[in-house]
Each structure stands twice: as C-alpha cells, then as structure tokens.
Amino acid sequence: AHFEAHRDQLSEDSLVRLEKNPLRILDSKDPRDRPIADAAPDIDAYLTPEARAFFEAVTAGLDAAGVAWTRNARLVRGLDYYRHTAFEFVTDRLGSQGTVLAGGRYDGLIESLGGAPTAGVGWAAGVERLAMLLDEPEKPGIDAVVVPMGAAAELRATGLVAELRRAGVATDMAFRGNMKRRMAKANDQGARYALILGDDELANDKVQVKALKTGDQAAMPLSWVPQGIFDLLFEDQVAEDHGEQLPPLAQRLTTA
C-alpha cells in the first residue's frame, strides 16, 4: 500500500516488482526508489509475538556463539519462499560486490511444492568473492637444497633428496645451470643448507654442507644423511629460540 501510493515516483524495475514481489523494492539500489523505500513502514510494527520470539532466539544464539552481527530491517531475499530470518555476510573489501554469502529460512518451500511441512534453511555463496578475501598463502619453506654437479652426482642426489624428504626435511634439488646459478636457486628458496655433491665428494663418500645464512661450509659423511641434516636444523631452531650463537659448522659436525 505504501509503494502503491508512490508508484508515480518509482523506477521502472520497482513498478514491475510492485506487482510481483513488493518487498524487493526495499532492496532497490536505484536513487529514485531510495527515499520511498527508506520511508516504508518498519517491520517491527507488524511482527507477531511468535515471530518476535523466534528472531530473539536466533540473535541470542548468535550472541552465545560469539558471532558479531548487525540487524538490517530492510534486508530482503529475491525469492518468495524465504520466511523468518534472512541473512547476508558482507564485506567492504570488494567494492559494490560486497555480499559474499546470503540465505535464510524457507520452512514453507517443501509444502508449497506438495510435500509435508518441513523446516528448512539454506544459503548460497560466491566462490570467487570468497577466494578474493583469502590472503595469499605463504610459500612453503625449504630446509635444504641438494646441488649435484655431474651425471653420477645427479643420480646419487635423487636418492639423497628422497631420503631427506622421508625424514621430514623439506628438500629440493638444483640441477640446472652452473654452480653459481644453482646456489642462487637455493638462496632464492630460502633454504638453510645447500648439500653440494660432485665427483670428489662421491669418491670420498661425503657431501659438502653449506650454511647459506653464514656461508660456513664443512664436509659431512653421506652415511650421516639425513639424520645429520635433521640434527643441524633442530640445533638451529633451538639456538634461534634462545638467542644463542652456534659454533662453526665444521666444529658442529666434528662433535657430532
């Protein structure tokens, strides 16, 4: 009745809604409709005691669950079968596309389709909008990078990488380019250690371990891998947690 009295001021879309679903006019974004919609009678003047008690129970549940909410007395859903509570999750981080999830109760839907009276609630979400709100995940850290030089070393390095990964050490292999480029890759990945393996190391059954943060380098028997690398990483973490300075790498490997 309110909108009918102002039909000469409504937008074309709202005139169509006036015949099909007048409540949708409350949600109109057209500037011509806003003053009329804002002046419409408030829903509180028409709530039955049962509806008011239902809504108070819903909001009490939200409070008990620690959910922050605000009430929008003009919130409507686009489909006629919604009833009781309607809700939206909104954000100010996506411009005009601020609603990321919306829904409500539709207890009468099944009955209107010929079924038994059935309570119902549902919602729909914009997957892309939700994804846009997620922070970029941190790149997984790398503990060690194996740097093989030569075909024989590459073959042994493949097994070394597998052993380290099975031991829980995040490991990658740098196998392209010269030594400088391979070490640069290890640094770019934020690795703590580079394990350098060449013909000389294979002949001596050792691997050169380089602490990339300090540039410190020492030889480690291949038989110590992966436990030796795991232990070095553990010592590093303990030292960082306690603000302690570790001895040179050669001394740490000798004492081990």
Q: How confident is the model at residue 20 (pLDDT cuts 50, 70, 90)?
A: confident
Residue range 32-77, pLDDT digits in tens? 999 999 999 988 888 899 999 999 999 999 999 999 999 988 888 8
pLDDT tens digits, 96-116: 778 899 999 999 899 989 999
CB atoms within 10 A of CB 123: 12
Rounded to the nearest 10 degrees, how much is the dihedral formed by the CA atoms of 56, 61, 63, 66?
-160
- Judged by DSSP in three states, 171 sits in strand
Predicted local confidence at residue 21, as pLDDT: 85
Of residues 43, 57, 40, the one with CA closest to residue 105 = 57
φ and ψ at 145, to 5 degrees? -125, 125
Neighbours of 232 (CB within 10 A): 24
* pLDDT (tens digit per residue) in 172-198: 998 888 888 888 888 888 899 999 999
Give residue 255's pLDDT band: very low, low, confident or very high (50, 70, 90). low
Give me the chain's average pLDDT, please.
Answer: 90
Burial (Cβ within 10 Å: 0-12, 13-18, ≥19) of residue 193? buried
Max CA-CA distance within the chain? Answer: 96
**Is a pLDDT exceeding 60 seen at residue 149?**
yes
